Chains A and B, each alone.
Chain A
Amino acid sequence: MESYIHIIILCFLLLTSFAIVRMRDLFSIVMLMGVYGLLSASFFVLMDAVDVALTEAAVGIVISPLLLLSTLAATGRYEKKKRQQPFLALIVAVFTGALLIYGTLEMPPFGSADTPANRHVASYYINQSYAETGIPNLVSSVLASYRGYDTLGELFVIFTAGAGVLALLGLKIKSPKKSRSTVLPPSSMSRHHILRIVSKMLIPLILLFGLYVQFHGDFGPGGGFQAGAIFASGMALYAMIFGLQTTMRVFSRAWLEFFAAVGLLLYGGTGVVSILSGKNFLDYSVLSQSPTDAQHLGILLVELGVGITVASVILLVFMFFASHMTKVSE
């Protein structure tokens, strides 16, 4: 029965991607990409990958359509008509796709016991993780404890992406006026009373949920990446309803840049502390007497670093795009 649901969702994914390719209206394409994200998130839930589904739900449905929409406001809504027919590109794409499909023929079926993924270290993690780290959520312990280097690398990637956007666009976000008493120009959405009140109700809950996902990542699905994306989407909602200027009173650009670096420093600093205590980089056992307490503390610090950096980078990029949008519309 469940395999039918898998097949149906995969068919929907295929249909959505075909629709995305065929369409010329970029606005609809962005909406369809949100639908694509939702379908992928549901598929991940069916595959029991709840952590990945949470990330996909936050990033694929909220953050990336939001960034694309704010880009669209600057670029215009419709795709330009192409002059030439890119036959060569079609041939290359078909050839690559055929090769990839040919490659999957050799792969063992999904979930079979003798895939490399199941024969290598995975069984060790599944059997030993709880005894060694005392973390109920296997994903968190693998992510932050066994594979701490990889996660640090991912965090560097996110930080570099944010720095790259800042360096490439190089726009100045207009700083809010100095005197606090002046009434800021309201955003176009704030006239909608219903929208404003409902988002006032929802934003605290979204932020609270973000914090829950952040600090509950050891025990349930969640962790720094998801929490950062959820937190940033709550703040982005605030920025859309109440205006960019109002948001920047709370999170100014300088603070966001500062926090993006602080999160990374917190992660790297945890590693340096263990080096200075004579152990390996990111060996959490120096942080406390009992090994499981040390693991808990280390993962908490590391996940906090991830969450802070992810939230700050996403908010920074969103603010850059949004401020560019207001500049164009002027």
Chain B
Amino acid sequence: MVELTYALSILCLLVGSISNLIAGFGIFHFPDVYTRMHAAGITDSFGTGLILIGLMLQTGWDGPIGKLLAILIFTLITSPTISYVLANTALKEQPPKTANTTHKKTDES
């Protein structure tokens, strides 16, 4: 059981780190604001969440698991909010775009 938890936590940490790395590449590589935000936003929640879950599995019940859980909840609330604000501002400000970028009006903008 202990070994299984350990393996699981290693897997979580690895996948989380790799997805954060991919996010970093994506921010530099993608052409316009929306695709970059896609790279940053999704992998930010996913990668950081996985790293935190991996750390929680490592610490066990008597470690600082509550703090990690609080950080996880905080990240899961704030990270999508930031993505939303970024997207909304981008839609309003019309930053430099490539030929493939399309602006679609939504109700709230």
Chain B CB within 8 A of A169 CB:
no
Interface residue tally of chain B, by bracket?
A: under 10
In the bound complex, CA of A202 to CA of B81 (Å) = 12
Which single member of B77, B78, B84, B108 contacts A191 (CB below 8 Å)? B108
Stretch at the interface among A83-91, A193-201, A276-284: A193-201
A193 near B81: Cβ-Cβ < 8 Å: no
* Chain A interface mostly: helix
Residues of A within 8 A of B5 (CB): none
B108 near A193: Cβ-Cβ < 8 Å: yes
Chain A CB within 8 A of B99 CB:
no
B108 near A198: Cβ-Cβ < 8 Å: no
Chain A CB within 8 A of B35 CB:
no
User: Beyond A201-B77, A202-B78, is A195–B85 a contact (Cβ under 8 Å)?
Assistant: yes
Expressed in whole angstroms, the minimum distance between the Cβ of B64 and any Cβ of chain A is 12
Residues of A within 8 A of B84 (CB): 192, 194-195
In the bound complex, CA of A82 to CA of B107 (Å) = 44
In the bound complex, CA of A55 to CA of B88 (Å) = 32
Residues of B55-109 contacting chain A, CB below 8 A? 77-78, 81, 84-85, 88, 108
Residues of B within 8 A of A201 (CB): 77
In the bound complex, CA of A201 to CA of B78 (Å) = 10
Expressed in whole angstroms, the minimum distance between the Cβ of B21 and any Cβ of chain A is 14
Residues of A191-227 contacting chain B, CB below 8 A? 191-195, 198, 201-202
Expressed in whole angstroms, the minimum distance between the Cβ of A182 and any Cβ of chain B is 26
Residues of B within 8 A of A194 (CB): 81, 84
- CB-CB nearest in chain A for B84: A194
A192 near B85: Cβ-Cβ < 8 Å: yes
B78 near A198: Cβ-Cβ < 8 Å: yes
Expressed in whole angstroms, the minimum distance between the Cβ of A242 and any Cβ of chain B is 15
Expressed in whole angstroms, the minimum distance between the Cβ of A42 and any Cβ of chain B is 14
Expressed in whole angstroms, the minimum distance between the Cβ of A282 and any Cβ of chain B is 35
- CB-CB nearest in chain A for B81: A198
Residues of A178-194 contacting chain B, CB below 8 A? 191-194
Expressed in whole angstroms, the minimum distance between the Cβ of A206 and any Cβ of chain B is 10
- Chain B 8-49 per-residue mask, 1 if CB under 8 angstroms from chain A, else 0: 000000000000000000000000000000000000000000
Residues of A within 8 A of B77 (CB): 198, 201-202
Expressed in whole angstroms, the minimum distance between the Cβ of B20 and any Cβ of chain A is 15
Residues of A within 8 A of B85 (CB): 192, 195
Residues of B within 8 A of A202 (CB): 77-78
Residues of B within 8 A of A195 (CB): 81, 84-85
- CB-CB nearest in chain A for B70: A205
In the bound complex, CA of A201 to CA of B84 (Å) = 16
Residues of B within 8 A of A193 (CB): 108
B78 near A192: Cβ-Cβ < 8 Å: no
Residues of B within 8 A of A198 (CB): 77-78, 81
In the bound complex, CA of A195 to CA of B81 (Å) = 7
Expressed in whole angstroms, the minimum distance between the Cβ of A200 and any Cβ of chain B is 11
Q: Which residues of A are interface residues toward B (Cβ below 8 A)? A: 191-195, 198, 201-202
Q: Sorted from nearest, which 10 A-B pairs have the closest CB atoms? A: A198-B81, A194-B84, A195-B85, A198-B77, A194-B81, A195-B81, A192-B88, A201-B77, A192-B85, A198-B78
Ordered by A's residue number, 8 sampled pairs between the chains whose C-beta atoms are within 8 Å are A192-B85, A192-B88, A193-B108, A194-B84, A195-B81, A195-B84, A195-B85, A202-B77
Given contacts A192-B88, A194-B81, A202-B78, 12 further A-B contacts (CB under 8 A): A191-B108, A192-B84, A192-B85, A192-B108, A193-B108, A194-B84, A195-B81, A195-B85, A198-B77, A198-B78, A201-B77, A202-B77
